[in-house]
Amino acid sequence: MAWLARYKHSPATLASYRKEAERLLLWCVHQHGKALSDLTHEDFLAYEAFLEDPQPAERWVMEVAQKARRSSSHWRPFAKPLDRQSQRQALSILNSLFNWLVQAGYLACNPLALRRRKSVARPAKTSRFLPHEHWAQVRATIEALTIGTPLAALQVARCRWLFSLFYIVIKRMRPNANPKRVPILRWFIVYFYKWLIDAATRLCSWHRQHRFFSSQSSARYRV
């Protein structure tokens, strides 16, 4: 089968995929009486139950501690019934097979596409935003800085401007403002440019103070 030929350079994957495809084909022919192309979602529900308890066992399951070769008359498709994890793995492999058959044009649809999959719990995102009281404390500390010299005034003005910039930018970066889910241009306009217009007056005020004290300090040192 061309689908298996894609895994010829990975012997372990090839053996696993071939085993699951062979089990399904044997079940279709000897147990279910349907062609592979005629299988439906309901047929795979029956096949999933079959994986959990392959019956009749003498036809499908090898005897305990028996390791017969594939060519032996004692060989069977199963060494034992599959547990839940092995069943999910088997159906995942078959889902890959049917997806390939659909893409190659052999089938019109994948009957496994409707199978309910176990949801995977995602770890909660860690938030590293400072609470408002911490921001207020930082601002109060900046406002309490002494301005005894032009150089000190320059440093305070710079701190005020940077604080305002960081505070407003971080405040706008909410968890729902995910640039991976929203086109980057739209994200920039909605979550940054809109804020920039609202905050322009405040930032310009701090920036003018910073430029004023910077020019005063530069003039003093030139003198």
Domain locations along the chain: 2-114, 132-222
Mean of pLDDT over the chain? 76
User: Looking up tokens 């279910």, which residue turns up?
Assistant: 32
Q: What is the pLDDT of residues 76-113, one digit of tens each?
A: 999 899 999 999 999 999 999 999 999 999 988 999 98
Q: What is the pLDDT of residues 20-34, one digit of tens each?
A: 999 999 999 999 999
Architecture of domain 2-114: Orthogonal Bundle (1.10)
Half-sphere exposure of 151 (CA within 13 A, CB side): 2
Given a cut of 90, whether residue 50 has pLDDT beyond it is yes
Q: Is the pTM of this model over 0.85?
A: no
Q: Tell me the C-alpha distance between 23 and 77, whole Å.
A: 6
| Cβ count within 10 A of residue 101 | 19
Q: What is the pLDDT of residue 221?
A: 47
Q: What average pLDDT does range 40-67 have in this prediction?
A: 88
Q: What is the pLDDT of residue 144?
A: 80
Residue 44: partners with Cβ closer than 8 Å, 6 or more residues away: 91, 94, 111, 112, 115
Given a cut of 90, whether residue 178 has pLDDT beyond it is no
Q: Tell me the C-alpha distance between 126 and 129, whole Å.
A: 9
Given a cut of 50, whether residue 140 has pLDDT beyond it is yes
Given a cut of 80, whether residue 181 has pLDDT beyond it is no
Which position has the higher pLDDT, 2 or 204? 2
Q: Tell me the C-alpha distance between 107 and 35, whole Å.
A: 12
User: In what helix (H) or strand (E) does residue 105 lie, and over which residues does it extend?
Assistant: none
Q: Characterise 33 by phi-psi region: left (phi > 0), alpha (psi -120 to 50), beta (else).
A: left
Q: What percent of the chain has pLDDT over 90?
A: 32
Q: What average pLDDT does range 161-178 have in this prediction?
A: 59
Q: What is the pLDDT of residue 223?
A: 45
